[in-house]
Structure 1
């Protein structure tokens, strides 16, 4: 069988043909590879360069490769945080014509790290809790979309910095299934697997001396279920309010917005005697602040980054002479937002030298600068201004953090 490439965009097949598909992945020459940290996988995985892109290449049998490729495409259409599928290659043979396994090609998630590389130095429990929060949010989002993961674990997740917290991305969809709706049993099965897998991974870290001594692996594995349960309850519970108290419904929706979710569809029913109103969120979509920031500015960021940037944008707009909410002659929010991007956000980020940015994207850099401004202002007991904060951050913070900001080289 001849080599066959199924790709999501027309430009990728030509770039992929330059790679040595006649060799098993474990024998690829170093000249093709990119030294990035890799997590544990049941399959051989390598990072390589295709044109200007860094790709992840996973070797597996043809049927699961095609299935995972389609599942990742489905997750992409649903807006779920997962690696981007680029192509699947079948019909590989070596120089002697012997068959080789198929490969799944995904785009490397810039700025992300597998959990093991994050534990190269002992991670503080507070940081581990932020990882658990990110993983709980990812699992809730998958279940809301009807996706049963079947193998939720730290190993099958990549983590990306998100304004002091983390955003979690699904890496391995091989064991997943997509349904119109998940039953409670399907969700509980996923949760039980997550608890067992995470406890096992943390026990492994404990045995290697990479786990903080105050962390109990079993308790921490159980905690992911508790965090998931609290979020799922808030997003899906039925509320009963007194008739006429419609502002209670608005307050519930605002609380969901604060958690980063939009209510795309709801069900409201009056009781037979008219004394109460029942409110049920029917469709809940994640990314409330992401969508709001993207609509206003065109910036595509993580959810916590978007929340922080929106706060700074609103504060800045309040200082503008042509900002007058409700005045039809005043500048529209979109106009002011694009002015903020042009005059504040981009010039500020450009002040940070590229060689000192490490794996941080523009939104994370801006968040770090806002944090530093707050810290210096608290110390000085007055607002020191963004320009002064940027200069101090570049002079005193980035040089000492330079090594930690660089991606870790895989062993």
Structure 2
């Protein structure tokens, strides 16, 4: 049988031909390999350089390689976080003429680490929870896309930090299958497997002295089931918001925040019966909102202030006609953020007289206006709007507060 390379990109076969396909993967010369941390795998896996790229090469049976390659391509089309498939190489033979196992090649996910590498220094319990939250987000997204994993575990996942965000990526789709819609039983099976695997992996770390002494593997393994269930309910329940009740969207965002998740992307679809809203969650680290707000708007705020302002910015952007995430013809987030600062943030803050602001900075003033609008909208059961909220806040909160402060001074 002749060597055959099936690739996603026409340029890949040429760069891949330079690799020693007539040598078993475990015996590849060092000159072809790249020293990167590898997770536990039941197959031989090596990182190699192919042209300007670093790729992960896994020896596996031909049927499994072709099937996983197709599944990863499907996940890529569905925009689910997973490693990118590059090629399948079949028809390998050694120098002695004996057949060698085919390989699946995926692109190395820059900045990612297997969980064991992350635990080389004892990880704090709160950070472990954030990683498990990221895995819960990944599992929910896979299930929403109709993908039953079959072997969800820390070992089959890569984790990456990006500007404070924690993200989990599927790295092994060998046991998976894609269907138009998963049943409750299929989702429950994935959760059961995930719980058993995670408990076992944490116990393994514990036995090796790599787990924080405050971490009990069993409750941590059980927690992913609860986190998954809360997130699944909040993301999948059907909601149609009347256009005069924007505060309902704010309420939904607050519930996601209370669960420990932030809104990475929000889509609002207009219809005659109201606004259909969908959310994409993510897990973030401390300080993420400050950096994100500063990058988008130039506003420097405390973390909780920045979170509040970013939520308002996301809600506002989703209502703009030229907002189209992923569409090169749509307005870029930086452009919309500049417009929000100019047309929404600054006018609202300027409406508050300087003499009533006390020591509050502009970010705190706007945050308080948002909180007051939320309160008034909940009480009125409709969105009262920012201008109405600002007027009420000035007359019923700030002026009495300033008068009380003046009385205390005298």
**Aligned pairs, how many?**
308
> 1:133 maps to what in 2?
133
Distance in 2 between residues matched to 1:52 and 1:177, nearest whole Å: 32
Distance in 1 between residues matched to 2:331 and 2:243, nearest whole Å: 33
Distance in 2 between residues matched to 1:5 and 1:18, nearest whole Å: 12
Q: Which has the higher contact order (CA 8 A, sep 6+)?
A: 1
Distance in 1 between residues matched to 2:233 and 2:52, nearest whole Å: 44
- Note the alpha carbon deviations across 1:229-257, whole angstroms, 9 max, x for none: 1111110124598x897435544565569
Verify the 8 A CA contact 1:71 1:173 in the aligned structure 2. yes
Verify the 8 A CA contact 1:162 1:305 in the aligned structure 2. no
- Note the alpha carbon deviations across 1:114-167, whole angstroms, 9 max, x for none: 000111111111111111111111111101111111100000001111333411
TM normalised by structure 2 equals: 0.67
Distance in 1 between residues matched to 2:96 and 2:133, nearest whole Å: 50
What is the correspondence of 1:2-151 to structure 2 with a 5 Å cutoff?
2-151=2-151
- Note the alpha carbon deviations across 1:333-378, whole angstroms, 9 max, x for none: 75974999xxxxxxxxxxxxxxxxxxxxxxxxxxxxxxxxxxxxxx
Distance in 1 between residues matched to 2:225 and 2:108, nearest whole Å: 29
The two structures, once aligned, show a CA RMSD in angstroms of 3.6
> 1:186 maps to what in 2?
186
> 1:286 maps to what in 2?
280
Which one of 315, 327, 340 corresponds to residue 297 of structure 2?
Answer: 315
Distance in 1 between residues matched to 2:270 and 2:331, nearest whole Å: 28
Secondary structure in 2 matching 1:5: strand
> 1:297 maps to what in 2?
none
> 1:397 maps to what in 2?
none
What is the correspondence of 1:328-367 to structure 2 with a 5 Å cutoff?
337=335
Secondary structure in 1 matching 2:298: helix
Distance in 1 between residues matched to 2:287 and 2:7, nearest whole Å: 31
- Note the alpha carbon deviations across 1:300-347, whole angstroms, 9 max, x for none: xx99999665512443289xxxxxx9xxxxxx975974999xxxxxxx
1:259 to partner: Cα distance: 2.6
Distance in 2 between residues matched to 1:307 and 1:12, nearest whole Å: 39
Distance in 2 between residues matched to 1:89 and 1:163, nearest whole Å: 36
Distance in 2 between residues matched to 1:260 and 1:6, nearest whole Å: 35
> 2:266 maps to what in 1?
262
Verify the 8 A CA contact 2:235 2:279 in the aligned structure 1. no
Secondary structure in 2 matching 1:260: strand
1:265 to partner: Cα distance: 6.0
Inter-CA distance 244–112: structure 2 relative to 1 (3 Å threshold) = closer
Structure 2 stretches lacking a partner, 5+ long = 301-315, 317-329, 339-360, 362-410
> 1:196 maps to what in 2?
196
Distance in 2 between residues matched to 1:268 and 1:189, nearest whole Å: 39
Verify the 8 A CA contact 1:61 1:102 in the aligned structure 2. yes
Secondary structure in 1 matching 2:105: strand
Which shows bigger deviation, 55-64 or 121-130? 121-130
Name which one, 1 or 2, has greater alpha-carbon Rg. Answer: 2
Verify the 8 A CA contact 1:153 1:194 in the aligned structure 2. yes
Distance in 2 between residues matched to 1:45 and 1:120, nearest whole Å: 20
Secondary structure in 2 matching 1:262: strand
Verify the 8 A CA contact 1:85 1:105 in the aligned structure 2. yes
Are positions 1:247 and 2:251 aligned together? no
Secondary structure in 2 matching 1:259: strand
Verify the 8 A CA contact 1:163 1:305 in the aligned structure 2. no
Verify the 8 A CA contact 1:253 1:263 in the aligned structure 2. no
Distance in 2 between residues matched to 1:253 and 1:266, nearest whole Å: 18
Distance in 2 between residues matched to 1:78 and 1:148, nearest whole Å: 14
- Note the alpha carbon deviations across 1:207-227, whole angstroms, 9 max, x for none: 111111110111111111111
Inter-CA distance 268–197: structure 2 relative to 1 (3 Å threshold) = farther
